[in-house]
Structure 1
Amino acid sequence: MLIDTHLHLIDRTRLSYPWLSGTPALDQDWTYAAYAALAKRMGITRALHMEVDVAANDIDNETCMVAQLMTQKDSLLCGAISSARPEDAGFDAFLEGLDKTTVKGLRRVLHVMPDDLSRAENFRSNIRKIGAAGLPFDICVAARQLPIACALADAAEHTRFVLDHCGVPDIASGEFESWANAITDLSRRPNVCAKISGITAYANPNWTLDTLRPYVEHIIQAFGWDRVVWGSDSPVCTLNASLEQWVAVTHALTIGASADELAKFHNQNATRIWNL
């Protein structure tokens, strides 16, 4: 049983995606039906929808879209990680109004924002409120911003964090040491978990299994099997691979793990973290 903790769906007829026009390879609709047809063949039994950085006025509409898809017969969707704006004055009302039958976690994409955003006390105070509300917060940062992730985790020690995409290593350039050191530092925070999700997007198109191996193995070594989860990052993973290839790579890179370790990585940790 494999839980996909990072599925993006794109419906341009319902929602506005300001960033999408700058990424032609992804600038199309990515439907639940197309994803489910592939996922069910590969052993993906449940999926969390990850917000797609929609326009701010479409955040609630995106959550409603996921809620509707969850009601379909035999739907794989088991919840949404919603977009949030912890820097906004109206965040308390937003948090209070969340439908937690759908919303299982929150995220604010940080790598496209000024570094100081997450350093502001209002932002950090609201991240602490997310933890108090029983919701995890996904950290989406570039590799150079991993120290920012450490500072945020320290400032909200009772909030559970999930690092997206292994911290976005620059696999294409072969850069490893500085990323690995920063990951080791971040992993010392017990309130942080790591998501191994779609890292083929950060490699060259001619990547191989051995290209990705040191990054995946270091994440697992640093965080341990109790604090790692899997995600597809579909459709972003299709930039240099396919969903099928990423699932195959995942199994190949963890082939030596025990049944207990794989159960934690494939589904048990995600079930615990997002209270599924």
Structure 2
Amino acid sequence: MFRIDAHHHLWHYDADEYAWITDDLAPLRRDFVAADLIATLADAGLQGAITVQARQNVKETEWLLQVAAVTPPVLGVVGWLPLRDPALPELLERFSQVALLKGLRHVVQAEPAGFMDDAAFREGLAHVAAAGLTYDLLIVEQQLEEATRLVDAFPQISFVLDHIAKPRMGDGDMTEWSRGIVELARRPNTVCKVSGIVTEASSGAWSAKSLRPYYEVVLDAFTPKRLLFGSDWPVVLARCSYVDWFRIVQGWTADLSAMEQAAIFGENAVRVYGVAKREAATQQGERA
């Protein structure tokens, strides 16, 4: 089985640029670079990964693509470009020439209500659609309804829901989140990453058993054909090791067929992001 981590990050740590790394995430206050990723993937027995933006600037997207070009396990990059900027078409024309750019993402979870309804944002997404890129939805539970309207407006875009829409876990009430997940999953152009779940739980107050109901909701809603394994490394390290998270998801999926497990742990990422496997990725990186 060719296993792919569909969601991880790389960075050179800077306290100002990564101000979101608060005290409870203190283990993340260091560099995480390609060499760290390669060793981490090897420890868990994964062969490839999708790198996702962590800062909202064009220079980071350029850097991630440069890293991917010389790091064969990085099969693709989900970067950031200014979707509401009139210069977006020119930027997309330039960046879409780099085959390793597979999609874009904006940190919508930090935006006010109505951001995804904004005309300028949607105009930007129309350009993303024309460029044939995917779009990762980084949202919280309260934004699911708004995100569903956005997906309805762009049926031609493959939308990837990150971190199962970050449900509120404090009171244990899954009702509204589950309803929103089921509704979003009705849209066939959506898939969901089984990622970021552990970091939404309170430190020390979670277990594989306590988090499993969230996995079961997205499994039922999206089915194995539209779920992707993701680690959210290195953020996951604030709660558990990479290998532990991988084994937790392996345990959750153990009762699925071999074909369904292969889909979640790699084949769906290949399809959604349009990535090539290791040998082709090496050649692509040499061309970039």
Q: TM-score, normalised by structure 2?
A: 0.88
Structure 1 equivalent of residue 282 of structure 2: none
Whole-angstrom distance in 2 between the partners of 1:239 and 1:125: 37
Structure 2 equivalent of residue 2 of structure 1: 3
Structure 1 equivalent of residue 51 of structure 2: 49
Q: Map 1:51-70 onto structure 2 (within 5 A).
A: 51-54=53-56, 56=57, 59=58, 61-70=59-68
Q: What letter matches 1:177 in structure 2?
A: T
1:11 counterpart SS class? coil
Structure 1 equivalent of residue 164 of structure 2: 166
* Alignment partner of 1:79 is 2:81: no
| Contact 1:171/1:212 (<8 A) preserved | no
Q: How far did residue 100 of structure 1 move?
A: 3.1
Q: How far did residue 72 of structure 1 move?
A: 3.6
Q: How far did residue 114 of structure 1 move?
A: 1.7
1:181 counterpart SS class? helix
Q: How far did residue 18 of structure 1 move?
A: 4.7
1:22 to 1:207, Cα distance in 2 relative to 1, 3 A = closer
Whole-angstrom distance in 2 between the partners of 1:230 and 1:197: 7
Structure 2 equivalent of residue 12 of structure 1: 13
Q: What letter matches 1:85 in structure 2?
A: P
1:194 counterpart SS class? strand
1:107 counterpart SS class? strand
2:47 counterpart SS class? strand
Whole-angstrom distance in 2 between the partners of 1:171 and 1:266: 25
Whole-angstrom distance in 2 between the partners of 1:171 and 1:238: 19
RMSD, aligned CA: 1.9
Unaligned runs of 5+ in 1: none
**C-alpha offsets along residues 42-86 of structure 1, whole Å, 9 cap, x if unaligned?**
1210011100024x3xx2x3233223333446x311121001221
| Contact 1:169/1:175 (<8 A) preserved | no
Structure 2 equivalent of residue 248 of structure 1: 247
Identical pairs, percent: 30
* Alignment partner of 1:89 is 2:86: yes
Q: What letter matches 1:33 in structure 2?
A: A
| Contact 2:68/2:77 (<8 A) preserved | no
Unaligned runs of 5+ in 2: 276-288
Q: TM-score, normalised by structure 1?
A: 0.91
Q: What letter matches 1:38 in structure 2?
A: T
| Contact 2:162/2:193 (<8 A) preserved | yes
Whole-angstrom distance in 2 between the partners of 1:172 and 1:209: 16
Greater Cα shift, 235-244 or 61-70: 61-70
**C-alpha offsets along residues 66-119 of structure 1, whole Å, 9 cap, x if unaligned?**
23333446x311121001221222111121111432211100110111222211
Q: Per chain length, whose mean CA-contact separation is higher, i.e. which structure has more relative contact order (CA < 8 Å, sep 6+)?
A: 2
Whole-angstrom distance in 1 between the partners of 2:229 and 2:108: 21
**C-alpha offsets along residues 140-197 of structure 1, whole Å, 9 cap, x if unaligned?**
0011111111011011121110000011012343121110011001111111111111
Q: How far did residue 19 of structure 1 move?
A: 3.0
